[in-house]
Structure 1
Amino acid sequence: MERVRDVSRLPKAHLHLHFTGSMRPGTLLELAEKYGVHLPDALTSGEPPKLRATDERGWFRFQRLYDIARSCLRAPEDIQRLVREAAEEDVRDGSGWLEIQVDPTSYAPMLGGLIPALEVILDAVERASRDTGLGMRVLVAANRMKHPLEARTLARLAVRYRDRGIVGFGLSNDERRGMARDFDRAFAIARDGGLLAAPHGGELTGPSSVRDCLDDLHASRVGHGVRAAEDPRLLRQLAERGVTCEVCPSSNVALGVYETPGDVPLRTLYEAGVPMALGADDPLLFGSRLAAQYTLARRHHGFTDGELAELARQSIRGSAAPEDVRKKLLVGVDEWLASEPTEPAGS
């Protein structure tokens, strides 16, 4: 029987994981009981909720479930638990570096304000990194549904706390709302302050939103970016500039961007030379974590162990990890590939 290597032992970097969406389902249930929050059946059934966000009603339902889950994070100890458990899950999946994405304004009302909320989050990340051995940093994301002036405030705050573990600045929520160029000043503030630019684009809308991220926000990474596969010229541009796409296959299928895992254009991006970093996005809602994305690439797209190793390298190179951490992880990838396959090929 043909055997393959265990993808959970493949060193990798995780560059697309949202804060509340990283929560364990069991933790959500416990916190909801603690605070008397009624959870809809979609969050208590033990199965990922049925989602389809390609229309406004579907996106509203997805956002509503996310907001309900976030409302269960009310105290510093809840934040610490979430971050520690997210780190533990990543270590279990072979991650050596995690950049967790958060909009601190969402947690400010329950944690005493914007700055206290950010400091609670950064303290939790520092502690979880120390306790688990996982390299862990923060990417602050603005909400494109809010006014661009709020994004500028967040960008200045992110730069101010750069020495506390913030490495990048993003732009999330429904990419069909708000123009990327409306947030160009916020991204300029972030870039001038030494943060990498990693806005969302190219998931719910087409290649033009990826191009806007490049042209208007000067992105060095793009959250998702899969719709670039529809534009060969854009693919060449991404490859030539070395812009990493944070591709989240399970998320793409769960939200209805693609019908099946085999429809996600991993091969198209890979063969065009576009760097990719596979990510789990929101495991709480999509039902799978980081290693499962590599398994998906193997099962549905025929990625060999050598190609999976290259995907892991691309994730590491696209990260904000210090050079010594990158080197260590890259050596680990080579060692993984040199090891004997132990798993049945169908695993």
Structure 2
Amino acid sequence: MIKKAELHVHLEGTATPLLVKQMAERNGAELDPTTFASDGEYRWSDFWEFLKCYDKAAAAIRSRDDYKTVTYDYLKRAAAEGTIYVETFSSPDHAASVGISYEDHLMGIADGIDAAREEFGIECRIIVTCVRHLGPEKALEVAKKVVSTPHPYVVGFGMGGDEAQFHPKDFAPAFDLIHEAGLPTTNHAGEFGGPQSIRDTLTHLPVTRIGHGVRSIEDPDLVRELAERKIVLEVCPGSNVSTGLYPSVKDHPIDALKKAGCIVTISSDDPPFFHTSIGQEYDRTQEAFGYSDDEMRTITRNSIQAAFCEDSLKEKLLAKI
């Protein structure tokens, strides 16, 4: 089995419908019935409906122990598919919306990481994220918490959410604060926003990675810049197909970006929402483009080399490939 690593998965978005229902029942939380379709899977029709569905499901996570459960459950599934390293996006804003403190949110995830490492040997680190459509003031609050409450598992900072809201430069204070504290950053761009969204991110935010970044393919000069600057792309093919960006994995630009010299990685984004997993992402990409096992291992190496974790851990992980 090819060893795998992923850099782009939203922790709340890893929780399966069954797990969300179990946590809601345990917590006495009432779930919006429109969260699920008749077959029990998540119900959404487009990207903006997906964001709403994500929020409704995430609201079932109500405690430090719930965050441990979600983290452990995902890492168990990932390890079963040969994954040796995960960087998961955490969202303090989602935790705060149900009354969980930043510290309890963080410690719950850390508890899950420790438990999964002990049982399955998988490693995980945390990228704390702000939510773009909540605005720059909220983002700065999250950034301040990251800086004032350091944790060895928190290795970076990022931003997700609706790309159509606000401008990257509005979030420069938050990202600059993190950068000055010595942590690397990434940002979702070029998913539903076009190439200009990526350009604006590169201009105004101190990022070394771009979440998705696939619409750069529409601008050859931008593709060349990404390759020359070695900006790593956190590519999630199954997510982009599910949300309607591309009709199939074969039509996805990951191969064209790879051939153009861009550093591409493969991740699952929000796996149960998109009926996928990191293992399926690797398998479908390999099948669609006829990649050899060695080419897939190179993609794993790309992920580990681009990871925000400590160099000593990278060396251990690279030795496992």
C-alpha displacement of 1:217: 0.5
Paired position in structure 1 for 2:270: 282
Verify the 8 A CA contact 1:138 1:165 in the aligned structure 2: yes
Letter in 1 for 2:33: L
In structure 2, distance between residues paired with 1:12 and 1:120: 24
Equivalence for 2:54? 66
What's the TM-score, normalizing by structure 2?
0.92
- Kindly provide the amino acid, as one letter, of the partner of residue 32 in structure 1: A
Change (3 A) 1:78 1:116: closer
For residues 306-344 of structure 1, give each alpha carbon's deviation from its aligned partner in whole angstroms, at most 9, with x where no partner exists: 2112111111111123323323332332xxxxxxxxxxx
Q: Deviations over 1:99-126 (max 9, x none)?
A: 1101112112434434443343344434
In the alignment, structure 1 residue 45 sits paired with structure 2 residue 39: yes
CA RMSD of aligned residues (A): 1.9
Superimposed CA distance per residue, residues 72-103 of structure 1 (whole angstroms, 9 cap, x where no aligned partner): 11122221110101111121122211111011
- Decide which of 3, 14, 17 is 2:9's aligned counterpart: 17
> What is the CA-CA distance between 1:49 and the residue it aligns to?
4.2
**TM-score, normalised on structure 1?**
0.86
Residues 210 and 231, structure 2, Cα contact 8 Å, conserved in 1: yes
Is 2:25 aligned against 1:33?
yes
Counterpart mapping for 1:1-347 below 5 A:
9-34=1-26, 35=28, 36-40=30-34, 42-43=36-37, 45-47=39-41, 49=43, 51-53=45-47, 59=48, 61-333=49-321
Q: CA deviation at 1:44?
A: 5.6
Q: CA deviation at 1:290?
A: 0.5
The whole-number CA distance in structure 2 between the counterparts of 1:110 and 1:50 is: 22
**Structure 2 CA distance for aligned equivalents of residues 285 and 163 of structure 1:** 29
Residues 308/73 of structure 1: CA separation in 2 closer, same or farther (3 Å cut): same
In 1, the alpha carbon distance for the partners of 2:112 and 2:282 equals 28
Structure with more contact order per residue of length (Cα contacts < 8 Å, sep ≥ 6): 1
Aligned length: 319
Q: Deviations over 1:5-45 (max 9, x none)?
A: xxxx2223211010111113321232233334243373561
Asked whether the equivalents of residues 148 and 186 of structure 1 are also in contact (C-alpha less than 8 Å), the reply is yes
The percentage of aligned residue pairs carrying the same residue is 31
Find the residue that maps to 2:36 and give its secondary structure.
Answer: helix
1:140 is displaced (CA, Å) by 0.7
Q: Cα deviation per residue 1:209-252 (whole Å; 9 max; x = unaligned)?
A: 11112111021010100111111111111111111110000100
Unaligned ranges ≥5, structure 1: 1-8, 54-58, 334-347
Q: Give the whole-Å Cα distance in 1 for the aligned partners of 2:75 and 2:15.
A: 11
What SS is found at the alignment partner of 2:281?
Answer: helix
Show structure 1 runs of 4+ deviating over 6 A.
Answer: none
Secondary structure in 1 aligned to 2:188?
Answer: strand
Which shows bigger deviation, 159-168 or 273-282?
Answer: 159-168
State the alpha-carbon separation in 2 of the partners of residues 25 and 303 from structure 1. Answer: 33
CA contact (8 A) 2:31 2:60 kept: yes
Contact 1:49–1:286 (CA under 8 A) maintained in structure 2: no
**In structure 2, C-alpha distance between the alignment counterparts of 1:43 and 1:67, rounded to whole Å:** 16
- Partner of 2:134: helix, strand, or coil? coil
Name stretches of at least 5 consecutive residues in structure 2 with no aligned partner: none
CA contact (8 A) 1:32 1:72 kept: yes
Compare 74-83 and 239-248 and name the one that shifted more.
74-83
SS in 1 for 2:309: coil
Shift of 1:46: 4.6
Q: Residue type matched to 2:7 in 1?
A: L
